[in-house]
Amino acid sequence: MAQRQFQTEVSRLLHLIIHSLYSNSEIFLRELVSNASDALDKLKYLTVADEQYKALAFDPRIDVSFDKEARTLVVADNGIGMDEAELADSLGTIARSGTKAFLERLSEDAKKDSSLIGQFGVGFYSAFMVAERIEVVSRRAAREEAWKWSSDGKEGFEIEPARRAEQGTTVTLYLNEEGASFANRWTIEDVIKRYSNHVAFPIYLTFEEKEWDDKGDEKGSTTKTERVNSGTALWRRPKAEISEEEYAEFYKQFSGDSEGPLAFAHTKAEGALEYAALFYVPKKAPFDLYNVDYKPGVKLYAKRVFITDDDKDLMPVWLRFVRGVIDSEDLPLNVSREILQQNKILANIRGASVKKLLSEIRQMADAAVSGGEEAKEKWETFVSQFNRPLKEGLYQDYANREALAELARFKSTALEDGAWTGFADYVSRMKADQKYIYYITGGAEKTLRASPLLEAYRARDIEVLVMDDDIDEIVIPALRAYERESPGADGKPERKSWELRAANRAGADEELGEAKDAAAEKKAKPVIEKIKKALGDRVKEVKLSRRLRDSPSCIVADENDPSAQMAQIMKAMGQAAPEAKPILEVNGEHPILAALAAVEDEARIADTAFVLLDQALLAEGLRLPDPSDFVKRLNRLLAG
């Protein structure tokens, strides 16, 4: 029988696969199972769509078996099968354009990074990594004759007539030295579960189970066949058919979380973009949420075949707490990390997925208002675990900024300790003539609530958001304003925007409408001069405050300077913080200031001035540059 030559590209591909992919050789089984599953899909379609096949009794299955002694591994299916021409075409040439692209990339790339290549699906030929010879016996559905294709994967292949009882394909691998370890029940099970667990058709494994007599001697063995894959591609089933319990069970099995999920979102898209996605929000933040090298929680499948669980680009960083699956109908198996990154299909799926998750989170937030105690608790759990990543999104995800601004939660002077509010609620409580959203950052909640900076707001009964999360310091100034679109009086959408204003800025008092009092300024001038002289370059300026009521002093940052808290964060992160000195504001009505006016002793003036500055820093939760100096001065003043 004449040997037929492989197409030149096949020879090259075979060479490359065998020499660069072997470190990841197990993927051959994924490829063979995926081919079998495709063949079953094709026949299944015909039995519904084509008269000629409608009568066919069809019980789709994939069978895997092995023989340790003979060193063979067999993957069989009863799918569509191939006739002689199809065998020669499909297994003698490169059918897929993706494979061609793969080849081109590989040959361009002199340094063959085998871990990168391992991301590719390389199809049937990958079996030559583990086999020195492959035989494929196939019978096309609705035909009588069968054919045997065989090859050693070097030059070419042979095709001869064969027999097969029913339609389908049997691939027999004569394993090579390295491949011998695959003739093992546990290895096969492990690989199938990993890559092909969600393949829709049952995958059976046949193996010999040894029997032992009472003395512990081998008595013989029985042949057993067990199903290996669970086939529960839950995300592929219609939503209406899936119970809450099933969703929860799947989540536990999938994520390894012993608790059920807090929420889930299941979508199926059809049309231009065909995919299914199932996302879960855990009840607890994953332990590595704040590690740079966190493990991504979303797995990518192509037609139910596992592609990767290690692609951080499937979701934006801020959604890294989400667990789930994206399963595309349009992605080829042969998709590399680089290709994934540039893939338009995936970019579209990702965009739609983020929107879906945002709307799911929004529903949770809305339910907390309109729903019962349980809905409220659910939302509170979400906020306690994931408010911070949402705020990261506010900073990073420009496209979804508005939706995220509706979801981020803050503490507030209008609410008791520990309660949360959002921008929309704040705006609904605003005074009729109030233009801005006020907030205070830095320090712990308690410190912020007691800050002298809030005295004027309190006096005017104006709500201030208490931002005690250190990320607020970065996110909120960058956000600048809370914007939203809502139906206007005429029903047309109307854009509204409220600027965000920090309480610890120079000028915040003016915004509040605190008028300048020339007489008071004049009266305070000498004492302010004294303080200024004593503090020298420790402060940018000393000013008469219009915002203080009870406290003698406070510090604020100049309009364009970073706040003292921000400077401290930047330092802690090892970044060079620009040298920005605070502005000290003093309360002219306070007895300390009144007393200071009468003091002439320079040392005592300095002690008072430094204590005024240091206590203002302390009140904002900041560290003192020289605590012992503060203590000494304070003690001298107390001693009289």
Query: Applying CB under 6 A, which residues contact ligand ADP?
Result: 31, 35-36, 39, 77, 79-82, 90-91, 95-96, 123-125, 169
Tokens representing residue 337 in the block: 């990390």
> Using an 8 Å Cβ cutoff, are 130 and 173 in contact?
yes
Q: How far apart are CA 450 and CA 101, in angstroms?
A: 65
Q: How far is the CB of 165 from ligand ADP (least distance, A)?
A: 16
Q: Which is nearer to ligand ADP, 79 or 296 (CB)?
A: 79
Q: Which is nearer to ligand ADP, 139 or 546 (CB)?
A: 139
Is residue 625 helix, strand or coil? coil
Q: How far is the CB of 77 from ligand ADP (least distance, A)?
A: 5
Tokens representing residue 578 in the block: 């620009």
Q: How far is the CB of 86 from ligand ADP (least distance, A)?
A: 7
Amino acid at 85: A
User: With helix as H, strand as E and coil as C, how does 585-612 read?
Assistant: EECCCCHHHHHHHHCCCHHHHHHHHHHH
Nearest 5°: phi and psi at 475? -75, -45
Q: Which is nearer to ligand ADP, 148 or 501 (CB)?
A: 148
Q: How far is the CB of 61 from ligand ADP (least distance, A)?
A: 12
Q: How far is the CB of 308 from ligand ADP (least distance, A)?
A: 17
Q: How far is the CB of 76 from ligand ADP (least distance, A)?
A: 8
Name the nearest CA neighbour of 298 among 262, 266, 324, 316: 324
Tokens representing residue 196 in the block: 């092909």
Q: How far is the CB of 81 from ligand ADP (least distance, A)?
A: 6
Q: How far is the CB of 191 from ligand ADP (least distance, A)?
A: 17
Q: Which is nearer to ligand ADP, 96 or 154 (CB)?
A: 96
Nearest 5°: phi and psi at 591? -55, -35
Q: Which is nearer to ligand ADP, 77 or 607 (CB)?
A: 77
Q: How far is the CB of 138 from ligand ADP (least distance, A)?
A: 7
Instruction: Find tokens 């290996």 and name the residue.
Output: 228
Buried b (16+ CB within 10 A) or exposed e, 583-611: bbbbbbebebbeebeeeeeeebbbbbbbb
Is residue 228 helix, strand or coil? coil
Q: Which is nearer to ligand ADP, 121 or 316 (CB)?
A: 121
Q: How far is the CB of 286 from ligand ADP (least distance, A)?
A: 35
Q: How far is the CB of 262 from ligand ADP (least distance, A)?
A: 39
Amino acid at 416: E
Q: How far apart are CA 15 and CA 107, in angstroms?
A: 11
Q: How far is the CB of 99 from ligand ADP (least distance, A)?
A: 7
Tokens representing residue 342 in the block: 């540039």
Q: Which is nearer to ligand ADP, 68 or 105 (CB)?
A: 105
Tokens representing residue 593 in the block: 């200031």
Name the nearest CA neighbour of 499 among 427, 448, 442, 451: 427
Tokens representing residue 490 in the block: 């005429």
> Using an 8 Å Cβ cutoff, are 48 and 41 in contact?
no
Q: Which is nearer to ligand ADP, 5 or 291 (CB)?
A: 5
Q: Which is nearer to ligand ADP, 56 or 427 (CB)?
A: 56
Between 602-619 and 518-535, two packed helices, what is the crossing angle to 10 degrees?
Answer: 100
End-to-end CA distance of the chain: 115
Q: Which is nearer to ligand ADP, 35 or 151 (CB)?
A: 35
Is residue 67 helix, strand or coil? strand
Strand ranges across the sheet with 203-212: 4-5, 156-162, 146-151, 131-139, 168-175, 72-77, 62-67, 203-212, 218-227
Q: How far is the CB of 60 from ligand ADP (least distance, A)?
A: 12
Q: Which is nearer to ligand ADP, 336 or 421 (CB)?
A: 336
> Using an 8 Å Cβ cutoff, are 503 and 548 in contact?
no
Q: Which is nearer to ligand ADP, 123 or 286 (CB)?
A: 123
CA dihedral 341, 342, 344, 349 (to 10 degrees): 10
Q: How far apart are CA 174 and CA 91, in angstroms?
A: 17
User: With helix as H, strand as E and coil as C, how does 323-335 read?
Assistant: EEEEEECCCCCCC
Q: Which 8-state DSSP code applies to residue 153?
A: S
Strand ranges across the sheet with 541-544: 541-544, 583-586, 553-556
Q: How far apart are CA 28 and CA 333, in angstroms?
A: 12
Tokens representing residue 464 in the block: 């201030």
Q: Which is nearer to ligand ADP, 164 or 505 (CB)?
A: 164
Q: How far is the CB of 113 from ligand ADP (least distance, A)?
A: 22
Strands 553-556 and 583-586: antiparallel
Between 373-396 and 472-479, two packed helices, what is the crossing angle to 10 degrees?
Answer: 70
Q: Which is nearer to ligand ADP, 63 or 468 (CB)?
A: 63
Q: How far is the CB of 91 from ligand ADP (least distance, A)?
A: 6
Name the residue number minimizing CB distance to ligand ADP.
123
Q: How far apart are CA 97 and CA 84, in angstroms?
A: 22
